[in-house]
Chains A and B, each alone.
Chain A
């Protein structure tokens, strides 16, 4: 049974750095072909893909947010960590981690965490 769970701060001040952890079970990120992504959704708005890390430690980022994002994995803990610097109120959103199945250019998100709401406000 595949599960993912996001954890991190619910409230941040502008300019602070966000660190989110995705703890997963039911698969191993050291297995060839496995990937985990971060996706966010501002209140009432659409989904936005942020970043992906694969079993080979290759990392991919949204071009619009690339300078602010960093993704890493701890295979021994079955965790993926996302950091986003210089947070702004427009970054207020529910942040999801999701497992991607398939190749990077054809993959789909087959399992999602429940999401964690991050609010940026002074």
Chain B
């Protein structure tokens, strides 16, 4: 059972907008710790997608179709203009003060219909 809760799966048609939620608690997201997002394509290592709480914190090469937000004890990843190449697993990550370490969400599988 992951400390951060994500929906197991989401789906959308090409061109649509989808969001993936990441729900934590008062010892992680709710305490104000940054939330980061990763994309994992099948058979590959995770890749950093969004870092920090700002929508504009994207590594070079990550399109601005990807954005992040945070409110209270939850965070969200939004993907606009969905493309077939976006089909992957997505993970959120933060810090937990009770566990004194990094924590990940359970992952969300995005299917592009």
Partner of B45, one of A37, A62, A105, A113: A113
Q: Is A24 part of the binding interface, using a Cβ–Cβ cutoff of 8 Å? A: no
Residues of B within 8 A of A (CB): 2, 33-34, 36, 38, 44-48, 51-52, 59, 91, 93, 95, 97, 99-107
Top 8 A-B pairs, shortest CB-CB distance: A108-B36, A49-B102, A112-B45, A108-B51, A47-B104, A105-B95, A46-B106, A46-B107
B52 and A60 contacting across the interface, CB-CB below 8 Å: no
B46 and A112 contacting across the interface, CB-CB below 8 Å: yes
A46 and B52 contacting across the interface, CB-CB below 8 Å: no
A-B contact count (CB 8 A): 66
Q: Is A48 part of the binding interface, using a Cβ–Cβ cutoff of 8 Å? A: yes
Separation of A110 and B47 alpha carbons in the complex (Å): 7
Smallest Cβ distance from B91 to chain A, in angstroms? 6
Residues of A within 8 A of B95 (CB): 104-107
Most-contacted residue by chain A among B2, B45, B47, B106 (CB, 10 A):
B45
A49 and B101 contacting across the interface, CB-CB below 8 Å: yes
30 A-B residue pairs with CB within 8 Å: A39-B104, A46-B2, A46-B104, A46-B107, A47-B104, A48-B104, A49-B93, A49-B101, A49-B102, A49-B103, A52-B101, A52-B102, A62-B99, A63-B99, A63-B100, A105-B33, A105-B95, A106-B34, A106-B95, A107-B102, A108-B48, A108-B93, A109-B36, A109-B38, A109-B46, A110-B51, A110-B59, A112-B45, A112-B46, A114-B44
A49 and B104 contacting across the interface, CB-CB below 8 Å: yes
Smallest Cβ distance from B29 to chain A, in angstroms? 12
Q: Is A55 part of the binding interface, using a Cβ–Cβ cutoff of 8 Å? A: no
Residues of B within 8 A of A106 (CB): 33-34, 52, 95
Within 8 A of B (CB), among A36-82: 37, 39, 46-49, 52, 60-63
Separation of A106 and B93 alpha carbons in the complex (Å): 10
